[in-house]
Structure 1
Amino acid sequence: MRANCGCKEGTTTNITIEGEFGADALWCTKCTYNLDVEELPVSDSIKDALLDWAAQYGVWIDLETNRLVEDAEQLEKTHNAAGQVLADKLKAELGIAYTIQFTPSVMSAS
């Protein structure tokens, strides 16, 4: 099974895990289409973990002031580490039929 995306073929097996405000954590690596976590043939625990992880994206930013919060760098580092763990779990569940990569956030470094 392939994930639906915006590529010419309409589906992909090349997935990037990356956080973004208000979006699922999965993206087509080729066309950057935001993929629906629920469409992937993985366990509910992985789906739930991906949704939870995505919901925590940006906790290191005060959205009212658009400034980094105290300990922003550590919060982002922890979020990135959790994202890498999820990428590894997703790779294990999907197997070699999919190519999975993780793109860490670098917001606090700027």
Structure 2
Amino acid sequence: MTLEGEFGADALWCTKCQYNLDVEHTILSDRLKEALLEWAAQYGIWIDLETDMLVDDAQTLEKTHNAAGKVLVQKLQEELGVAYTITFEPSHMT
């Protein structure tokens, strides 16, 4: 399983088939599901979508988002255990 941000998609992806997984239909705790959905919703806040330009402090916003993603990977691994390997694909837009 891969944690990766993408516009308009949930944060979890099948590592094998690259299919986007619906967070709501996972066995994760409600608290972690909510955190994943919130993290995914924040993806790309460093871009002004009307102008397709980076916003002020874009690099810091993206770095913060990536750091939060790393924390989520740890939480995912804790909940799912060793049966799953969780990878993280950070954003590299700035």
Give TM-score scaled by structure 2 length. 0.98
| Amino acid across the alignment from 1:107 | M
Partner of residue 63, structure 2: 77
- Segments of structure 2 that go 5 or more residues without pairing to the other structure are none
1:31 aligns with 2:17: yes
Identity %: 71
Q: How does 1:39-78 map to 2 (within 5 A)?
A: 39-78=25-64
Moved over 4 A (4+): none
For structure 1, the 5+ residue unaligned runs are 1-14
Counterpart amino acid of 1:24?
D
Letter in 1 for 2:76: L
2:79 to 93, 98, 103: 93
Greater strand proportion: 1
Report the aligned-residue RMSD. 0.5
Q: Which has the higher contact order (CA 8 A, sep 6+)?
A: 2
CA distance in 1, matches of 2:43, 2:28: 22
SS at match of 2:86: strand
Aligned length: 94
1:61-90 residue CA offsets vs partner (Å, 9 max, x unmatched): 000000000000000000000000001000
> Cα deviation per residue 1:11-51 (whole Å; 9 max; x = unaligned)?
xxxx0000000000000111110001112211100000000
Which residue identity is paired with 1:62? Answer: D
Structure 1 length-normalised TM:
0.84
